[in-house]
Chains A and B, each alone.
Chain A
């Protein structure tokens, strides 16, 4: 990837769903660019358009207008140029439950043409503390263990671009903290670019150097966490999020000035 090409670039991206004569604008002309090696949080309430934005970046959903590019490749049209260098994790997408962890990782490792796959699975299992679970059916694992398996699948190809949709949803604080730590280490080791949709403000504050706040399909704000805190005169991102979600963002910004 040339250093001048953003890892992810979204330009006037719009998605309008039409059903039964009604149209819903899920994403409304948003633009942003993420440099390689950065971690960016995508915040917003339910229905803000975060998941649709991520799905368009992944090539799972076709934009109505505008474009999403990953490492220069236009999605979904040119997706096969880059899909082997990216990956995705979400608690809303499962892996086959009857397959063992090792079988699932083997299948995905082969799909991504991972070299020395056996060694890679052993390494990633060690990193994510899955070694004792490798031969157990994925469906028999606890929620926390399943999340670690999903993360192992997302990292099996050592992606340059990683998209995460609420990676710690439904995890206990200890496991969630452990997952965040692993993501931080991975980013440092691989200089990977991450885009993280989350409702967990503490997670976003810890992991992200930039935060994009969405509301009703539009970008409401876009800045580093510290800048957002100063801009809204708040001590934490949760209060910033509530200001934006409850329509008092502008008032908070004026009051802070």
Chain B
């Protein structure tokens, strides 16, 4: 074995691959985990899809805006499930009391985060691809028809979901499983502010500033512009991307800070409540 470099930031694809393999083994061994990835996005799709059918029958505006709700719910699920995919993979280590084994191995924190990011995309794909096909079959809504815009939406949403997932995982690592609820709820705090189903202009003026500080707000506004006006707002996507880079860097710094704090208070060994 080679002498290892002494930096927390050095990346080894081999070790990242080992961690991804660990989570793939887990998914493969548990059909209930796979079903869980598809179940809720599908339920959401049907609730909002049928609601959109109903409203469209009674309103000229919504008839023109076909797919707005379904598009919103699918993009929201990318954001929510992306964060959950990241955080739940991390929680698996806490639930199995395996965190200390990983922390005494040569695995760097950044490699751990990178593996969780990969798994967030894998879990998202397992859950969302079937649901987007259901959207085409049942509601005639083809998310993939967004083309390049979808790639921009996805990139921005997944970056935000990772930033939130990184901070949530850091908090759980430091404070134990008592903080696990954050993983399931934190995104719902952002939901009203990111204007998933309505334009930012609906919010009170003072709250609009907060909304524009959140990258997903730009994505949902961009989606509405695309559906209602058939316009791709590159300016919104670039602004969201710039914000995402800042938040991602802050999230990594917070994670490393929480890891240092966990070493100070001894929580890495306990991995409990």
Residue A217 lies at the interface, judged by CB distance under 8 Å to chain B? no
- In the complex, the number of residue pairs spanning A and B with C-beta atoms less than 8 Å apart equals 124
B21 to chain A, nearest CB (A): 6
Complex contacts, B98 vs chain A, CB 8 Å: 93-96
Complex contacts, B15 vs chain A, CB 8 Å: 110-111, 113
Distance, CA A236 to CA B267, complexed state (A): 36
Complex contacts, A90 vs chain B, CB 8 Å: 100
The binding surface of chain A is classed by DSSP as: mixed
Distance, CA A113 to CA B15, complexed state (A): 8
Within 8 A of A (CB), among B246-269: 260, 263-266, 268-269
Distance, CA A88 to CA B100, complexed state (A): 9
Cβ contact within 8 Å between B97 and A93: yes
Residue A187 lies at the interface, judged by CB distance under 8 Å to chain B? no
Residue A242 lies at the interface, judged by CB distance under 8 Å to chain B? no
Known A60-B269, A84-B4, A113-B14; contact A98-B104, beta-carbon cutoff 8 A:
no
Complex contacts, A84 vs chain B, CB 8 Å: 1, 4, 106
Total B residues in contact with A, Cβ cutoff 8 Å: 42
Residue B108 lies at the interface, judged by CB distance under 8 Å to chain A? yes
Q: Mark A1-45, 1 if CB is under 8 A from B, else 0.
A: 000000000000001010100000000000000000000000000
**Which residue of the partner chain, among A80, A95, A115, contacts B96 with CB atoms under 8 Å?**
A95
Cβ contact within 8 Å between B106 and A96: no
Total A residues in contact with B, Cβ cutoff 8 Å: 46
Distance, CA A92 to CA B108, complexed state (A): 23
Complex contacts, A87 vs chain B, CB 8 Å: 104
Cβ contact within 8 Å between B29 and A99: yes
Complex contacts, A92 vs chain B, CB 8 Å: 97, 269
Distance, CA A19 to CA B261, complexed state (A): 13
Q: Mark A103-122, 1 if CB is under 8 A from B, else 0.
A: 10011101111110000000
Distance, CA A99 to CA B271, complexed state (A): 19
Closest to A97 in B: B96
Q: Mark B14-35, 1 if CB is under 8 A from A, else 0.
A: 1101110110011001100000
Complex contacts, A167 vs chain B, CB 8 Å: none
Closest to B22 in A: A107
Residues on B close to A: CB < 8 A?
1-8, 10, 12, 14-15, 17-19, 21-22, 25-26, 29-30, 92, 96-98, 100-108, 260, 263-266, 268-269, 271
Contacts A60-B104, A93-B271 aside, 13 further interface pairs with beta carbons under 8 A come to A60-B263, A62-B260, A78-B6, A80-B7, A83-B105, A85-B1, A88-B100, A90-B100, A95-B96, A98-B29, A107-B21, A113-B2, A115-B1
Residues on A close to B: CB < 8 A?
15, 17, 19, 51-52, 55, 58-62, 73, 76, 78-81, 83-88, 90, 92-100, 103, 106-108, 110-115, 137, 153, 157
